[in-house]
């Protein structure tokens, strides 16, 4: 599009199209739910690995089994299509099992921040009209205080330790104490609700149907709930599938919390849609990322810039062959010239890191 034809309205000018290959604008999108997207992509190789969680590798077959178990349990709790299930968790297998179980039965996914205070919890739960709330047991203290002001009938507790290898689980449980509440359903009791239940009838895709409730960060005013469709999220996954140079079972670093759309979509849904193995980190320590990247030979990284500050300073990185690294991307903030230069300096086969497009060029308001 020539400069003289630009109107100044991004929705009309679509300046982002210059970054896409020819024909991308008219390529048809997948007509599937989020669950159908990852299932269809991996149903023929269920022995491949979906997650690596503290060294425990979980196959796609196990992923689908656990999603099915959660779906049956949600149905047993009375969840119906278009009901909103609120999930408050960090990046752990259980968070993703629950999210995709919602999609499988047609419930709306509502991932909320673990940092939310008591009154924020009340707002999130009432805004979504949630009666089922799935949350990490680490935050039971504030959940107990918030519940009386909500319509929540059932709280299901998750634990970050649930899928950890035994030796790591033992250390985690010794160092971390959650507030127990007898009124909440434990994870094991929740999944036990699936026993003896009939096969789940998979919810069918509906064009432009609201299926995912996202939340803004409040940088342009009061935080708002944003109604997203399967099409909105799968459209991005489709684009990656068509232009992403990837091979099955390459490794993707999940370093962004799932309650941010960037985290769920780019760091979770996209790799699961491409038969990649996702390295899951519930809580990122930027100083330890270089070691994690080298140990797992991560092929794809997409994080916020501060998480990469230690990467070009690591002595191990400086002495390592980084040819396994195919994509190093940032989002959520601009990449400074200094950090870009430092990153390029340590890459074995230097490639230009595209600077984040500034808001002045693409204003998404």
Candidates 71, 45, 70; CA nearest to 60 is 45
CATH of the domain at 192: 3.40.50.12780
Say how far apart CA 277 and CA 297 lie, in whole Å. Answer: 11
Q: Are strands 154-158 and 132-136 parallel, antiparallel or unpaired?
A: parallel
Residue 311 lies in a domain: no
Higher pLDDT, 340 or 101: 101
Residue-wise pLDDT tens digits, 278-294:
999 999 999 999 999 99
Residue-wise pLDDT tens digits, 291-345:
999 999 999 999 999 999 999 999 999 888 898 999 998 888 888 999 988 888 8
256 DSSP 8-state letter: S
pLDDT the model gives residue 348: 56
Q: In the predicted model, what is the mean pLDDT of residues 142-166?
A: 97
pLDDT at residue 1 is higher than 50: no
Residue with tokens 């990469």: 308
Measured in whole angstroms, how far is the alpha carbon of residue 264 from the centre of its chain? 2
Q: In the predicted model, what is the mean pLDDT of residues 109-128?
A: 96
pLDDT the model gives residue 352: 47
pLDDT the model gives residue 302: 92
Number of domains in the chain: 1
Residue 334 lies in a domain: no
Q: In the predicted model, what is the mean pLDDT of residues 340-356?
A: 65
Say how far apart CA 325 and CA 344 lie, in whole Å. Answer: 12
Q: How far from each other are the two terminal CA atoms of the chain, in whole angstroms? A: 21
Q: Are strands 225-229 and 154-158 parallel, antiparallel or unpaired?
A: unpaired
Q: In the predicted model, what is the mean pLDDT of residues 83-106?
A: 98
Over pLDDT 70: what percentage of the chain? 93
Say how far apart CA 17 and CA 52 lie, in whole Å. Answer: 35
Which residues are paired to 163 by β-bridges?
A: none
Higher pLDDT, 217 or 135: 135
Q: In the predicted model, what is the mean pLDDT of residues 132-157?
A: 97
pLDDT the model gives residue 40: 97
Residue-wise pLDDT tens digits, 219-276:
677 778 999 999 999 998 988 887 788 999 999 999 999 999 999 999 999 999 999 9
Please give the mean pLDDT across all residues of the chain. Answer: 90
Residue 288 lies in a domain: no
Q: Exposure string (b/e) for 344-365, b if CB count within 10 Å is 16 or more? A: eebbeeeeebeebeeeeeeeee
User: What domain range is 148 assigned to?
Assistant: 3-283
Residue-wise pLDDT tens digits, 246-255:
999 999 999 9
Residue 244 lies in a domain: yes
Say how far apart CA 233 and CA 348 lie, in whole Å. Answer: 34
Q: 244: buried, middle or exposed (CB in 10 Å: 19+, 13-18, 0-12)?
A: middle
Q: In the predicted model, what is the mean pLDDT of residues 62-72?
A: 98
221 DSSP 8-state letter: S
Say how far apart CA 78 and CA 181 lie, in whole Å. Answer: 22
Instruction: Enter the tokens of residue 190.
Output: 């929740």
Residue 300 lies in a domain: no
Q: Exposure string (b/e) for 8-21, b if CB count within 10 Å is 16 or more? A: eeeeeeeeeeeeee
Residue 77 lies in a domain: yes
pLDDT the model gives residue 24: 74
Instruction: Enter the tokens of residue 141.
Output: 């203290």
Residue 23 lies in a domain: yes
Q: What is the spatial order of strands in the sheet that 327-330 belongs to? A: 56-59, 49-53, 277-280, 251-254, 300-303, 327-330
Residue 102 lies in a domain: yes
Q: pTM for the complete prediction?
A: 0.89
Q: In the predicted model, what is the mean pLDDT of residues 142-162?
A: 97
pLDDT the model gives residue 4: 54
Task: Report residue 163: phi and psi, to 5°.
Answer: -105, 10
Alpha-carbon distances, residue 274 vs 49, 59, 241, 263 (angstroms): 12, 14, 7, 16
């Amino acid at each position: 599009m020539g400069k003289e034809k630009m109107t100044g309205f991004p929705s009309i000018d679509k300046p982002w199209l210059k970054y896409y290959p020819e024909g991308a604008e008219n390529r048809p999108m997948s007509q599937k739910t989020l669950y159908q997207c990852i299932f269809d992509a991996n149903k023929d190789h269920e022995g491949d690995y979906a997650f690596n969680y503290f060294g425990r590798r979980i196959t796609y077959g196990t992923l689908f089994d656990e999603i099915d178990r959660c779906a049956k349990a949600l149905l047993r709790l009375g969840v119906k299509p278009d009901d909103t299930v609120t999930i408050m968790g960090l990046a752990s297998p259980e968070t993703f099992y629950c999210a995709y179980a919602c999609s499988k039965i047609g419930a709306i996914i509502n991932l909320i921040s673990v940092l939310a205070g008591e009154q924020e919890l009340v707002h999130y739960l009432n805004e979504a009209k949630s009666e089922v709330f799935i949350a990490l047991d680490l935050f039971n203290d504030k959940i107990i205080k918030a519940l009386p002001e909500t319509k929540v009938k059932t709280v299901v507790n998750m634990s970050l330790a649930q899928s950890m290898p035994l030796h790591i689980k033992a250390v985690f449980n010794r160092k971390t104490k959650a507030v127990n509440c007898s009124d909440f359903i434990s994870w094991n009791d929740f999944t036990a609700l699936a026993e003896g239940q009939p096969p789940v009838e998979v919810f069918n895709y509906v064009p432009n149907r609201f299926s995912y409730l996202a939340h803004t960060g409040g940088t342009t005013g009061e935080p708002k709930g944003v109604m997203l469709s399967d099409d909105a999220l799968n459209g991005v996954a489709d684009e990656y599938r068509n232009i992403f140079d990837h091979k099955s079972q390459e490794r993707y670093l999940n370093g962004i919390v799932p309650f941010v759309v960037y985290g769920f979509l780019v760091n979770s849904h996209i790799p699961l849609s491409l038969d990649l193995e996702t390295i899951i980190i519930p809580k990122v320590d930027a100083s330890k990322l270089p070691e994690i990247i080298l140990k797992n030979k991560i092929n794809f990284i997409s994080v916020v810039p501060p998480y990469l500050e230690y990467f070009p300073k690591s002595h191990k990185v400086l002495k390592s062959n980084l040819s396994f690294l195919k994509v190093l991307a940032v989002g959520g903030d601009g990449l400074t010239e200094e950090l870009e230069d430092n990153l390029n300096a340590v890459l074995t086969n230097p490639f230009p890191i595209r600077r984040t497009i500034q808001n002045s060029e693409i204003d998404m308001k």
